[in-house]
Amino acid sequence: MKTSLNIAFFGSSLVSAYWNGAATYYRGIIRALHGLGHRVTFYEPDAYDRQKHRDIDDPDWARVVVYPVDNEQGVLNALQRARGADVLVKTSGVGVYDRFLESAVLQIKAPHALCFFWDVDAPATLDRVKADQADPFAELIPRYDLILTYGGGEPVVRAYRALGARACVPIYNALDPDTHHPVAPDERFVCDLALLANRLPDREARIEEFFLDVAEGLPNHRFVLGGNGWADKRMPANVKYVGHVYTRDHNAFNCSARTVLNVNRDSMASYGFSPPTRIFEAAGSASCLITDAWEGIETFLEPDREVLVARSSDDVIRHLRTLGHSRARQIGQAALQRVLAEHTYQHRAEQLQQLLEGRMFERVEDAA
């Protein structure tokens, strides 16, 4: 097996986190893969105004190719440039030409190459296939060498295997300690509870319960909400809405609040084992995290010692009323130590490298 692999990665965006919650995940994984000696080219569409809202320049640890989407020729040119890669990766949620790319990457891969489908929203993909028996992706699943997911645990693995996947392996979200770490508080974000979340249909009701209802019930506490889409949402007077928070401000956002809230989307909570990037960003900042309850949280952080779990708005209110600053700092420090020891993107990249080595070995054996 070659020690350095040429990896072509078709995803939503590496350089912009604007309406793109997977950006932190892609950056952490790809930067760590570069550190292991692999060469990654990230192909992303010029869509959704993301190029106008870049929060990083083209990095030195990956090559970024932005292709136009006003006609199909842009994506065809990108695919042509990706021919010959050792590993082709198509992620879910590119946002443009998704169904076309799902089949196209399989068609262009070289004989020696591997082709992976990397699902960053497995519940949505699985529900989509379940709802439409004619969905062409269902027939493509067995053709991929490997299905990777960023969450879901055994329920997702079983579901993909039932659809014919050769193998399905979760590569969970994690921490990049070089980008997310403790910093000094920023007055813009000082509060008792902070939440960073874009407004999405399958999460809004949960945010109303776990955040806005809590603010309503604690009028003497301060709350900060960051993320896109909330400008026209009715909020209690003690909630400060700060809009889109660029990656460069994530550390200050997390470190300025007494506690930081995580609210999973409905689908992620139902499947379980789906920690979003926000959990590791907050833990990396040594923030005291409160999360809604979902199966598998103890796999990543120990409840009551490294994270506080809430099953209702009443639980969040109770945590805020009883939690002192000293106890909050203890929980945040414990979470930081746990993720540094077990849940960094270096850990995830090493896991992925083992999978790559195994699959490459199998390909060589088959060819012999």
What is the tens place of the pLDDT at every residue in 189-211? 999 999 999 999 989 999 999 99
What is the tens place of the pLDDT at every residue in 231-265? 999 999 999 999 999 999 999 999 999 999 999 98
Angle between helices 277-284 and 325-342 (to 10 degrees): 110
Above 70 in pLDDT, residue 361? no
Q: Quick one: tokens of 100?
A: 């076309």
Closest CA to 98 of 77, 119, 123, 127: 119
How far is residue 192's CA from residue 190's CA, in Å, rounded to a whole number?
7
In whole numbers, what is the pLDDT of the chain averaged over residues? Answer: 94
Above 90 in pLDDT, residue 160? yes
In the chain, what percentage of residues exceed pLDDT 90? 89
CA torsion, ordered 184, 189, 192, 196, to nearest 10 deg: -110
Sequence-distant (≥ 6) Cβ neighbours of residue 302 within 8 angstroms: 334, 338
Q: Are strands 39-45 and 6-10 parallel, antiparallel or unpaired?
A: parallel
Mean pLDDT of the 64-71 span: 96
Above 80 in pLDDT, residue 365? no
In the chain, what percentage of residues exceed pLDDT 70? 97
Whole-number pLDDT of residue 174? 97
Sequence-distant (≥ 6) Cβ neighbours of residue 351 within 8 angstroms: 171
How far is residue 12's CA from residue 95's CA, in Å, rounded to a whole number?
6
Asked if 39 and 121 touch (Cβ cutoff 8 Å), the reply is no
Asked if 165 and 147 touch (Cβ cutoff 8 Å), the reply is yes
36 vs 152, which has greater pLDDT?
Answer: 36
Identify the structural domains of the chain with CATH numbers, from first to last. Answer: 6-173+345-367 (3.40.50.2000), 187-342 (3.40.50.2000)
Q: Quick one: tokens of 113?
A: 């190459």
Above 50 in pLDDT, residue 318? yes
How far is residue 295's CA from residue 338's CA, in Å, rounded to a whole number?
19
State pTM to two decimals: 0.92
Helices H, strands E: what count in the chain? 14, 13
What is the tens place of the pLDDT at every residue in 71-122? 999 999 999 999 999 999 999 999 999 999 999 999 999 999 999 999 999 9
Q: What is the 3-state secondary structure (H, E, C) of 76-129?
A: HHHHHHHCCCCEEEEECCCCCCHHHHHHHHHHHCCCCCEEEEEECCHHHHHHHH
Above 70 in pLDDT, residue 368? no
- Counted residue by residue, the chain has a size of 368
Q: How far is CA 109 from CA 86, 112, 306, in A?
A: 8, 8, 44
Whole-number pLDDT of residue 38? 96
Helix, strand, or coil here: 6? strand
147 secondary structure, DSSP code: E
Whole-number pLDDT of residue 43? 98
Above 50 in pLDDT, residue 52? yes
Above 70 in pLDDT, residue 367? no
Above 90 in pLDDT, residue 358? no
Q: Quick one: tokens of 300?
A: 């990543």
